Structure 1
């Protein structure tokens, strides 16, 4: 079950990264209201993806 949760964490991180990167570049989902928030969410998505990946590789 825990491997499934780490995979879900990686998928969510990729989706968040794509959504906020698209908003930063094109302003499509949210209209590009706040560039600082887009960058903050991209960084947070990267951290979430890194943590999920390292946890996935440590599991047996």
Structure 2
């Protein structure tokens, strides 16, 4: 069960990383009308990218310890 929770957390963090990363990149590129979340706040997007990357790292290292 702990392995499954680590994998679910890893998948969720990667999805958040892709979503907010795309929103950040499209907002910086000037295509905010095509951004998934409308590029409302770059600071919020940057924070979510950093913290979802941190969560992905922690999930992966915890999964590796469970083996």
Q: Same fold (TM over 0.5)?
A: yes
Give 5+ residue unaligned stretches, structure 2. Answer: 27-31
Summarize the alignment of residues 1-60 of structure 1 with structure 2, pairs less than 5 Å apart. 1-26=1-26, 27=32, 28-60=35-67
- TM-score normalised by length of structure 1: 0.93
* Aligned structure 1 segments of 4 or more residues deviating by more than 4 angstroms: none
TM-score (norm 2): 0.84
Q: Which runs of 5+ in 1 are unaligned?
A: none
